[in-house]
Structures are given as structure tokens and as C-alpha cells.
Amino acid sequence: MSDIRVRFAPSPTGFLHIGGVRTALFNYLYARQQGGKFLLRIEDTDQQRSTPEFEQEILNSLKWLGLDWDEDLVHQSKRLDRYREVAQELVAKSLAYEFEGAIKFKIPKTEVKVYDIVRGEVTYDSKEFDDLVIMKSDGYPVFHLAVIVDDHDMGITHVIRGEDHLPNTPRHILLQQALGWKSPKYAHLPLIFGSDGTPLSKRHGAVAVSEYRNKGFLPQGLVNYLALLGWNPGTPQEIFSLPELVKQFSLKRVIKSNAQFNPEKLLWVNGQHIRAIPGEDYEKQITEFWSGKLDPMPEEKWRKLVTLYRPRIQTYGELKDQAAYCFSEPEYKDSAMIAEIKGSAVTLGLLTQLKETLSDLGDFEDVQILDQKTKQVAEAAGLKPKDIIHPLRFVLTGGTASPGIFELMSLLGKDVCLDRLKRFLS
């Protein structure tokens, strides 16, 4: 074990969002990679906006993602006496003073060097800073004081946080120096932007982790994608498990430039993870996800359905849309396609012949027989298999894309297939 200690410090004033998770993840990966500790601190001094519900949601999201923390949770709201004690210590040393019921820290006029692991050395001139309020008149600490006291008391060695905190760092270093404390090492992560070049927000789509969970994303898919936002493994590999990320992670490979959130890439990564998990895990997870949300169907049919769509879905939540025609009658919205099929005597003849041929079969269990019989109908008319398969797919699904047509016919079953053919032809 190393003596490295890092922390993730969310405020329970809202749901855990993508930017927060990426910060938590990089802290987690660094701690695990170095054999150190990953700690969790709840920054709940905003009495108006902090709620136990938001705190619980943050904890649930981190657990779901597999980002387990070490040691007990630290709550800032339980440490108010400690912040007041430190503020008074600064007043006693004439390094802070009371002002309209608040306490202000006297900013020493000097050059402050921040040695940042990601950015390199950044220099600030503190002559440009005003004196800093560290305790409000209501007796509550401001962020700047609480953070440095907590980091000191928790023995934090590395502070890994968003780049938006970089301008706070020189003030924190000055406070630490005034108290005679050693500053932790800092690493400021690039911000995450939407495709339009503005900081990621609700207008770019889902931002809360819980929304992704409700849509049927896999935790490992989300973690994998977020790890690649602002970090480069230095190899072409894009699909990682959490243990692989831990093994390869390095703060030296964090990119300085802003990361761009790409929802399509996230879907692709998630789809790769859906195809990578063992079959029984996939079946169990997608069944749990849809439990109570769909009309029940026989177990054997459900198993066939989820197996057939596994190569096609990117999230568990996509199943119902992708396979809508398995749950209800198809909608024929493509008027050009309807006109093309119904305007062709040859195509209608093929479909009519197919309906009669299929009526003579037993059940539709054997995919090879369905394949053989369908193609025989086309060949008997001197045509190619696609001349019957394309219109048949449209009749059965209302669309032009689906899994393999014969597997799909076997899944839908004889009665449904014949009924749809009959109704379309009439």
C-alpha cells in the first residue's frame, strides 16, 4: 500500500452528473493504480439546497458504477466547529480579520506558483486577489476554507478535480501556507464540452448518471467511455474493463485540451460491452431491466427475442423500439414502399404463393426449412430470393431493416406471420 490518498467531494444539491463521475473515476483509477486510498466527502454546507435524497442518489450511482470508496464518508456539515476553530486561529495570528460578522483572510501580496500535474507550472500574482471571505456571518465556512481544512485533516496527498477549480488553487495554497500546512499535489482535468463547444449541460441530452441507468446503459460502458474523455491510453485500444483501466491509468496521459462529449460514441462503446458480457449475464440483466415494463411473453420466446437483438442494440432500453413489431402490429408508414409492393402483380403473387406454402408447414421452429421454402417460391417464379425477402420483411415488420428474416419468422411464430401476410394482401 502506498500513502497516496485522493478524494471525490460532491455536493448533494443535485443528481450526480457526467462531469462529476469523470472526476470521481480519475480519482478512483489513480488511487487503485497506485495502491492508495479513494475517499468520499459530502460537501453539504449549503443548507438550502443540500438534501438526503440527492446524497443517496450520488452514493447509489457511484456503487452502480463500481467506484467503491475506502473508509467512512466525511460530511462537512458535521465539522462546523473545526472550521470555526481554524478561522479563529488565523484571526489570532492576525492573518484574518472580522468584517461585518464574517471573517476575511488577508491575502499576502506575492507570486504563487501552482505545480499542476496536468498543466505544468502556472504562476499567479496575488496582488490581483481581494481578501477572501472564509467564514460567512451565519457561522458557516465558505468552500475555500472547508476544502483546505478537510484535505489537511483527511491526509489528502493529491487533489484531482476539474479545471474550473484551477483559479481557486493559488488562494488555497496561500491559506495552507498561512496555517503552516503542506499543500497536496494538484491535477486539474480538462472540462467536458458538448458538440457545440459549450460546457456540457442538459441541452446536450442526458447529464445525470441515473438517466443513463434508466435508459439501460451498462455501468462498465459508461465508465469505459468517460475514462476516454480527457485521458489517452497511448494505444489504439478503446474497449476497457475497469481492471484494465486501473492497470493502464496515468495522470501523465491526461490531455490538456477540453474533452468533447459524443453521445454516438458512448452508444457504440456501450454496445460493445453488451456484446462482450457472458450470455447468461446479458439475459439476466436485460430481463431485469424490462421486468414489469412489457406485457409478459413465454420464457422461450423472450429468450429467442433478446438473443436475436443482442447484436443490434446499443442499450437495453433500445429493445422495445428496435423490436416494436414483436410486441404489437407493425405500422406501415412508408407509403412509397406500400405502393411499390401493391403495384406489382409479381410481388403480390410471390407473397400469396408464400402464404400458401407456409400454411402447410407445422410450426416455424426450424429456421432452415423456412429459408428453404421461401427461396423455393422465388426460384419457382424464376426470381432471386431478395425479390421475396425484401417485401416479406416489410409486411412482417413495417420497415426495411431487421435481424435475419427467417430467425425473425421463427420468433414471431406461424400464426402471426400468416395473419400479417393475409391482412396485407387483403
Q: Residue 201 has which C-alpha cell?
A: 449541460
Beta bridge partners of residue 5, listed in sequence order: 37
> Residue 65 has which C-alpha cell?
458504477
Is pLDDT above 70 for 127? yes
Mean pLDDT of 362-387: 94
Q: What is the pLDDT of residues 215-249, one digit of tens each?
A: 999 999 999 999 999 999 999 999 999 999 999 99
Does residue 203 have a pLDDT over 80? no
Asked whether residue 206 carries a pLDDT value surpassing 70, the answer given is no
Cα dihedral 288, 289, 291, 296 in deg (nearest 10): -110
pLDDT tens profile 315-348: 999 999 999 999 999 999 999 999 999 999 999 9
264-301: pLDDT as tens digits: 999 999 999 999 999 999 999 999 999 999 998 999 99
C-alpha cell at 75: 460530511
Q: 506575492: which residue's cell?
A: 110
Say how far apart CA 228 and CA 251 lie, in whole Å: 13
End-to-end CA distance of the chain: give it in Å, rounded. 75
Core vs surface per residue 63-81: b (16+ CB within 10 A) or e: eebebebeeeebebeebee
Q: Which residues contact 391 (CB under 8 A, 6 or more apart)?
A: 341, 347, 350, 351
Measured distance CA(52)–CA(66) in Å, rounded: 21
- Grid coordinates in use for 243? 481492471
pLDDT at 212: 96
160 has a pLDDT exceeding 90: yes
Report the distance separating Cα 112 and Cα 122, nearest Å.
Answer: 8
Cα–Cα distance between 91 and 181 in angstroms, integer? 17
Using one digit for the tens of pLDDT, what is the confidence trace for 22-36? 999 999 999 999 999
pLDDT band for 69, please (50, 70, 90 cuts).
very high
pLDDT of residue 242: 97
The catalytic residue among 63, 109, 113, 202 is: 202
Q: Beta-carbon neighbour count of residue 22 at 10 Å?
A: 26
Average pLDDT, the chain: 95
pTM for the whole structure: 0.93
- Identity at 336, one-letter amino acid code: A
d(CA 296, CA 407): 21
Q: What is the mean pLDDT of residues 193-199?
A: 86
Span 379-383, mean pLDDT?
94
**Domain boundaries defined on the chain:** 278-321, 335-425
Contacts of residue 91, defined as CB under 8 A and 6 or more positions apart, other chains included, come to 97, 98, 103
Residue 200 confidence (pLDDT): 82
Question: Distance between CA atoms of 370 and 374, rounded to whole angstroms?
Answer: 6
User: 320 an active-site residue?
Assistant: no
Looking at residue 196, its pLDDT comes to 86
Provide the percentage of residues in the chain whose pLDDT is more than 90: 94
CATH of 335-425, one of 2.60.40.1180, 1.10.10.350, 1.10.287.1060, 3.30.200.20: 1.10.10.350
Q: By percentage, how much of the chain surpasses pLDDT 70?
A: 99
Please report the pLDDT score of residue 115 as a whole number.
Answer: 96
What is the CATH architecture of 278-321?
Orthogonal Bundle (1.10)
The pLDDT score that the predictor gives to residue 2 is 81
> What is the pLDDT, as a whole number, of residue 129?
96
